[in-house]
């Protein structure tokens, strides 16, 4: 088996992404003076940009890896919602899984970038859980789209689209491969899933722990795996790599040092890639190396962006990652 053949095996396969979607806005500018009104710098805007974020960025990563994403999310009936739908069209994402709630805000994260440095973020959002009528409509629509598909990614950003009821309803469908990128509120609600991928701070916060040692990660991931009957746990450790815990054992995989420009979206890339590699039941060492590589590549560019498959494959071959297959 070659790395190229791995990606050929799932080319065109449909993947359902359920979760909180948003618009990521960027203001690029320069600082040359301070305000006379307050002790703050003035940013002279040079360029502005908008991109799909959250679960929608996971969908773009799935698309970049050669598969067909079906995004299931809820947005508001507002200007940002209109921008979101236009961006979906621009990026050839199907919108049949998108429910519009006229009483809800579309999340917009606005980042201010000066000389490639991220100096400020302004969030305009609503994080309450969906109202019962919208939740029921969303679940029914999502279940229809799942009917003939088997790979599901829960992309939970704690913005209210996913709740315990939603998780339980999807879990009742018995033919699914379910991957989860969790956040705080629903952390322990995901049971009997195939892949659970928190980052370091998320799993430590969930267990009210400050011990970031590998031994402690082994211990608490063991506890989580047993308590919630999870097949594979992957914890990403930023520039320190990642760990994987499953029935084959526990591995810690360090990352090659790279110049990190922006970590935004790296987790979206990793959950998209890890889902497919675990679904194909590939060796854990290969999965770890590929996910570290993909996350590192994403961090080398500014702003949220999907992985470039050609760049990923070229880097994987250059690093001889096929020896782990």
Phi, psi of 122 (to 5 degrees): -120, 120
The residues near 180 (Cβ < 8 Å, ≥ 6 apart) are 153, 154, 156, 190, 193, 195, 196, 197
The residues near 122 (Cβ < 8 Å, ≥ 6 apart) are 109, 110, 112
- Dihedral sign from CA coordinates of 206, 194, 98, 56: positive
Determine contact, residues 67/86, Cβ cutoff 8 Å.
no
Instruction: Give 96: exposed, middle or buried? Use CB within 10 Å, 0-12, 13-18, 19+.
Output: exposed
Tell me whether strands 232-236 and 195-196 are parallel, antiparallel or unpaired. Answer: parallel
Quick one: three-class SS letters along 207-249? CCCCCCCHHHHHHHHHHHHHHHCCCEEEEECHHHCEEEEECCE
Say how far apart CA 256 and CA 288 lie, in whole Å.
12
DSSP string, 75-96: EESSHHHHHHHHHHHHTT-B-T
Q: Where are the alpha helices (DSSP H) in the chain?
A: 3-9, 55-64, 79-90, 132-146, 164-171, 200-206, 214-228, 266-279, 284-298, 309-318
Instruction: Give 166: exposed, middle or buried? Use CB within 10 Å, 0-12, 13-18, 19+.
Output: buried
If we measure between CA atoms, which residue out of 18, 19, 24 comes closest to residue 123? 24
Helix H or strand E encompassing 20? none
Query: Which residues are known to be catalytic?
Result: 268
């Amino acid at each position: 088996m070659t790395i190229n053949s791995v990606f050929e095996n799932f080319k065109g396969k449909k993947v359902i992404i359920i979760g909180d979607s948003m618009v990521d806005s960027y203001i690029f500018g320069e600082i040359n003076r301070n305000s006379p009104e307050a002790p703050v710098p003035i940013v002279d805007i040079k360029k502005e940009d908008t991109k799909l974020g959250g679960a929608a960025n996971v969908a773009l990563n799935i698309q970049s890896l050669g598969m067909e994403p079906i995004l299931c999310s809820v947005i508001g009936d507002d200007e940002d919602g209109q921008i979101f739908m236009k961006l979906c069209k621009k990026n050839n994402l199907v919108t049949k899984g998108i429910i519009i709630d006229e009483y809800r805000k579309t999340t917009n994260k606005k980042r201010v970038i000066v000389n490639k440095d991220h100096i400020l973020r302004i969030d305009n959002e609503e994080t309450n859980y969906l109202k019962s009528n919208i939740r029921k409509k969303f679940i029914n629509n999502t279940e229809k789209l799942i009917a003939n598909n088997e790979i599901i990614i829960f992309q939970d950003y704690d913005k209210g689209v996913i709740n315990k009821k939603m998780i339980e309803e999807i879990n009742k469908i018995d033919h699914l491969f379910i991957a989860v990128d969790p956040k705080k509120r629903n952390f322990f609600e995901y049971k009997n899933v195939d892949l659970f991928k928190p980052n370091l701070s998320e799993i430590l916060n969930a267990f009210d722990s400050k011990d970031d040692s590998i031994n402690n990660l082994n211990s608490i991931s063991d506890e989580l795996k047993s308590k919630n009957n999870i097949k594979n746990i992957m914890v990403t450790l930023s520039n320190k790599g990642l760990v994987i815990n499953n029935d084959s054992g526990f591995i810690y995989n360090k990352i090659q040092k790279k110049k990190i420009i922006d970590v935004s979206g790296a987790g979206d890339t990793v959950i998209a890639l890890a889902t497919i590699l675990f679904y194909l039941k590939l060796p854990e060492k290969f999965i770890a190396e590929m996910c570290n590589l993909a996350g590192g590549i994403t961090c080398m560019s500014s702003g949220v962006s999907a992985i470039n498959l050609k760049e990923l494959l070229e880097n994987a071959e250059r690093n001889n990652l096929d020896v782990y297959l």
